[in-house]
């Protein structure tokens, strides 16, 4: 499965993504090279804005928001709308954000709900 968006021209965007994502990746025991390898092999998707970067990956019929960094709250409206549409188009039925309980309140306005350590959004056709 290949989807995701890096603004054109992409030159310099990976450097920016590395700066944004490295702190989050370290929290989960990964480094930038491992993340980049997953993106380049189509096992993860990179999403960028001017202020933030986010990496997602497929887990069955769920799209997991795996790592994010930068000014993500500022960019979350853009990210969520675009990523949700792409996930639906790719046949995903659910989106999941793990390990960040603080996002539950912020994401509730878009229909996300807390389930244990995860924040989940069921995707519908509507």
Residue 75 within any structural domain of the chain: yes
Q: Mean pLDDT over all residues of the chain? A: 84
Which CATH number covers residue 73? 3.40.630.30
Round to whole Å and give the CA distance between 94 and 41: 23
pLDDT reported for residue 10: 56
H or E stretch including 113? Answer: strand 113-115
pLDDT, average across residues 33-61: 90
- Angstrom CA distances, 72 to 42, 49, 89, 93, stand at 23, 9, 23, 23
59-94 confidence digits (pLDDT tens) = 999 999 989 888 877 767 777 888 899 999 999 999
Q: Indicate the range of 1-5, 23-27, 33-37 predicted with least confidence.
A: 1-5
Residue 4 within any structural domain of the chain: no
Domain of residue 100, residue span: 13-122
pLDDT exceeds 60 at position 5: no
Residue 45 within any structural domain of the chain: yes
pLDDT, average across residues 33-58: 90
Number of domains within the chain: 1
Q: Which residue has the tokens 């994502």?
A: 21
pLDDT, average across residues 103-126: 85
Higher pLDDT residue, 85 or 103? 85
Residue 37 within any structural domain of the chain: yes
User: Could you tell me the pLDDT band of residue 11, with boundaries at 50, 70 and 90?
Assistant: low
Residue 42 within any structural domain of the chain: yes
pLDDT, average across residues 29-55: 90
């Amino acid at each position: 499965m290949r989807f995701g968006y890096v603004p054109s021209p992409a030159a310099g965007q990976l450097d920016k993504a590395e700066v944004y994502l490295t702190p989050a990746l370290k929290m989960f025991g990964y480094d930038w090279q491992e993340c980049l390898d997953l993106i380049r092999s189509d096992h993860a998707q990179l999403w960028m804005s001017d202020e933030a970067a986010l990496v997602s990956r497929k887990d069955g019929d769920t799209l997991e928001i795996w790592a994010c960094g930068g000014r993500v709250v500022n960019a979350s409206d853009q990210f969520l709308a675009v990523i949700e549409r792409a996930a639906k188009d790719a046949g995903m039925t659910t989106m999941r954000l793990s390990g960040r309980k603080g996002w539950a309140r912020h994401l509730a306005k878009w229909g996300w709900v807390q389930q244990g350590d995860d924040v989940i959004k069921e995707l519908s056709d509507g």
